[in-house]
Structure 1
Amino acid sequence: MDRLRKTERMMRVWLLLHQNPLRYSAQDLAERFEVTSRTIYRDLMTLSEDIRVPVYSEKGRWAVQEDYYLPPIRLAIPEALHVFLAVRLMARFDHHYNPYVDSTFRSLGSILPEPLKAHIQRTLDWMHSLPKDEKHLRVLRAVAEAWASRRQLKIFYRALDDERPTERIIAPYHIEPAAPGHASYVIAHCYLRNATRVFKIERIESAVLLNETYAIPDDFDPDAFLGSAWGIIVEGPVQKVRLRINDRAVMRLMTETIWHPSQTFEKQRDGSTIMTLEVMNTVELCSWILGWGDAMEVLSPPELRQRVAEIARAITLLYAPQSTPPKDGDRSHFRHPG
């Protein structure tokens, strides 16, 4: 793993010197990459003697020969636009500064045409002002390293309903972002439960990389695993969900967006539209339905219709004048599984 980190650092030094010739001294590079000046000199020597990258210095500042570089990549405007959209999504996804996101998009920004390069630079400069969550970065890196190296990971995980974290050994199969909750999840085999489970990375208190290795099953397909989920929660059987949409504007929003691959629409004589889905009946689906208010009515399955109705009644009581708010124990409808 140390060799992998050294290689990654040298590639970043190489890229930085190419983009900023004769700007950085060895001490500047050492501070930027949080190593000693001696380590930077060793990296520069490796680049020069072993990899044959023509690095040179003038007055103590380093550069890479201008005409020597990796095969150039040029992105067309539509391709570059998707890099820009990706960095904007990341900026809204996690309201913390992530140096890995920063370095990734700064590297990609170097091959983009103007003015998209400048737009990305401004977004990254703004992200740099956000607070940094060191614990989350450590956990995220450990999860990524376990996944990449196929090594088991010991985590201390605090589920939503748990007062204290429990120790688990997991074998990561896949890492998946979930935009609605501004969170990332690791799909993994849990040795404690002897089953595939979904863990919210933000709920992992600490993570330790183990020496024991594992293999991802040949038949594991993350898209198939999540295919019938409304979001990230994989729970319960797949059911046919029928929703009546009564509002004209909401009808248009529904039909112009692919909310789930299984969705179909059927126009009714009374002017409403029936939306049909083949999905798991989870809290994520229920929350989404409630978000449309009285513009959407659950027709089936009956248990989902009942749950939505119960929550609607609880909300009515909560906002009724001089009403008594429901007790904590009555808020089970809103609870998100751990």
Structure 2
Amino acid sequence: MHGQAAPEAIPKAERLFRLATLLREGPRSVRELALALYPTASVGGEGWSGVERSIQRDIHDLQRLESDYRKISGRPPRHVIETHRSTLHPVEILALHAAARLTYHRAVGERMHHRAALQKLGQWLPEHLHGVVNRSLQDVGRRNNREDLNLEKVAAAWLGAHPLRFEYRKPGGSGQWRTNIMETYLIEAHPQNLDLYLIGLETSFHNGVRTFKLSRLRALQVLSDQTYTIPDTFDPQQFFHAAWGVVGTQGRAAETIALRFRADAAYRILEGGYAQMSEPTRHDDGSITVTIDAPVDSSGLPREALPWILSFGPRVQVLSPPHLREHWLSELRAAVVGGEEQL
């Protein structure tokens, strides 16, 4: 070993920076840090003891400079600068990253904020995942950035507890644009389409808690000279207790719907995952009957549950209530007539 050259010197400032980066990635011993900084050095070889002493002094400095530094007892002791990566459980990091990716892929516009968030979350992942994560964020072309601007204003209003003024009209593009002022309580992603929705107190017309789709807003303005307080009486669990998406009961009672699924669809229901569904009743032919609870809109229809029911086509029957059964049948008849006209 005596013929091997001593490790090349690294300036102290650079050494501290690189050591802090390594310690944010996870706990390391002095020897592990030395090998990471000096990969060509030989343990016990010429200059090795000096390298270890230098790193021990650097760790002492980092202990003063980094408030999140922590020494882990053991043989040998290990050192870490705690970050989300080192304190979160791996499944917690996976959940955060998966949630961010879902909204990233669904968002329109340039998605610069979604991309920035994913890049920061990606730093919590092990180094061998950085390449594939970064490549997955490459966009093709340039798109309308109105959604990014809307996100900035929505985020500023919500985080700053400022009312948000915007123009909105009902789904389908019918009716007039109407100015609304809203005190945002929550921002939720729809579990089916992943679009973002604002839930809060609308004070201009309804003076009640309402839900608005972010992509339908226009002419947003943060009323930064005003603030509001989210009341303790707003209970998200109660508001969403029968929701099939992001539209809560909003003061209206949920409706109980009885459904019968054919045997070739029953397995999907038996797999579970439907919080607002009763225990199924099984029949000899393999079919099952269940009831679900769903909020209704001003027309008396469960608008968010209907697409899910219709997605089963002829493999489900609406048994009750009668007005919903009639609406379901009319939708199926219209689909048949429309399909024949296309042929």
Tell me if both proteins adopt one fold, taking TM over 0.5 as the criterion.
yes
* Offset at residue 215 of structure 1 (A): 1.0
- In structure 1, what residue type is equivalent to 2:203? Y
Contact 1:84 1:120 in 2 (8 A): no
Match status 1:156 vs 2:170: no
- Structure with max Cα Rg: 2
- Does 2:103 align with 1:90? yes
Segment drifting more, 239-248 vs 69-78: 69-78
**Equivalent pair of 2:161/2:229 in contact (CA under 8 Å):** yes
The residue identity in structure 2 corresponding to 1:246 is R
Say whether residues 1:310 and 2:330 are aligned partners.
Answer: yes
1:255 equivalent in alignment to 2:270: yes
The match for 1:232 is: 246
Kindly provide the amino acid, as one letter, of the partner of residue 103 in structure 1. Answer: A
- Count residues with an aligned counterpart: 260
- 1:286 equivalent in alignment to 2:306: yes
Deviation at 1:79, TM superposition (A): 4.0
Q: CA deviation at 1:77?
A: 4.7
Q: Secondary structure at the match of 1:219?
A: coil
Within 5 Å, which residues of 2 pair with 1:115-194? 115-125=128-138, 128-129=139-140, 131-160=142-171, 161-192=173-204, 193-194=206-207
AA aligned opposite 1:275: V
Q: What whole-Å deviation, never above 9, does each CA across 1:100-119 have from its counterpart, x for those lacking one?
A: 11111211111212544333
Residue in 1 that maps onto 2:209: 196
Q: 2:137 & 2:334 partners in 1: Cα distance?
A: 43
1:38 alignment partner in structure 2: none
Structure (1 or 2) with the greater strand fraction: 1
- Structure 1, unmatched stretches of 5+, are 1-14, 20-51, 54-66, 324-338
Q: Structure 1 residues 175 and 84 mapped into 2: Cα distance closer, same or farther (>3 Å)?
A: closer
Alignment root-mean-square deviation, CA:
2.9
TM (normalized to structure 1)?
A: 0.68
Structure 2 residue identity aligned to 1:315: A
Indicate yes or no: 2:236 matched with 1:222.
yes
Instruction: State how far apart, in whole Å, the 2-side matches of 1:172 and 1:212 are.
Output: 13
> What's the CA shift for 1:314?
0.8
Q: CA deviation at 1:83?
A: 4.1
With the length of structure 2 as denominator, give the TM-score of the two structures.
Answer: 0.67
Matched with 1:30 is: none
Structure 2 stretches lacking a partner, 5+ long: 1-16, 22-64, 67-78, 297-301
CA contact 1:158–1:205 (8 Å) conserved in 2: no
Q: Structure 1 residues 162 and 116, CA, compared in 2 at 3 Å: closer, same or farther?
A: same
Match of 2:53 in 1: none
Query: Quick one: distance in 2 between partners of 1:162 and 1:251?
Result: 38
Taking a change above 3 Å as real, the CA distance of residues 151 and 106 of structure 1, as seen in their structure-2 partners, is same
C-alpha separation in 1, matches of 2:83 and 2:246: 39
Give distance in 2, aligned partners of 1:234 and 1:129: 37
Whether the 8 Å CA contact 1:246–1:296 is kept in 2: the answer is yes
Q: Distance in 2 between matches of 1:187 and 1:238?
A: 18
User: Identity, % of aligned pairs?
Assistant: 26
Range that drifts further, 222-231 or 85-94: 85-94
Which residue does 2:46 correspond to in 1? Answer: none
User: Which of 298, 322, 331 is the equivalent residue of 2:318?
Assistant: 298
CA separation of 1:275 and 1:149: change in aligned 2, threshold 3 A: same
- Asked whether the equivalents of residues 169 and 178 of structure 2 are also in contact (C-alpha less than 8 Å), the reply is yes
Q: Distance in 2 between the 1:113 and 1:322 partners?
A: 53
Tell me: CA distance 1:81–1:70, structure 2 relative to 1, closer, same or farther (3 Å).
closer
Contact 1:242 1:301 in 2 (8 A): yes
Residue 299 of structure 2 aligns with which residue? none
Using a 3 Å threshold, how does the CA distance of structure 1 residues 93 and 179 change in structure 2: closer, same or farther?
farther
Cα deviation, residue 322, structure 1 = 7.9
Tell me how far apart the structure 1 counterparts of residues 316 and 291 of structure 2 sit (CA, whole Å): 12
Q: 1:93-108 alignment to 2 at 5 Å?
A: 93-108=106-121
Q: Does structure 2 retain, via aligned residues, the 8 Å contact 1:84–1:116?
A: no
**Relative to structure 1, is the Cα distance of residues 76 and 168 closer, same or farther in structure 2, using a 3 angstrom cutoff?**
closer
Task: Name the aligned partner's letter for residue 313 of structure 1.
Answer: R
Question: 1:97·1:129 contact (CA, 8 Å) conserved in 2?
Answer: no
Matching of residue 273 in structure 1 with residue 284 in structure 2 = no
Specify the alignment match of 1:57 in structure 2.
none
Report if aligned partners of 2:263, 2:287 keep a CA contact under 8 Å in 1. yes
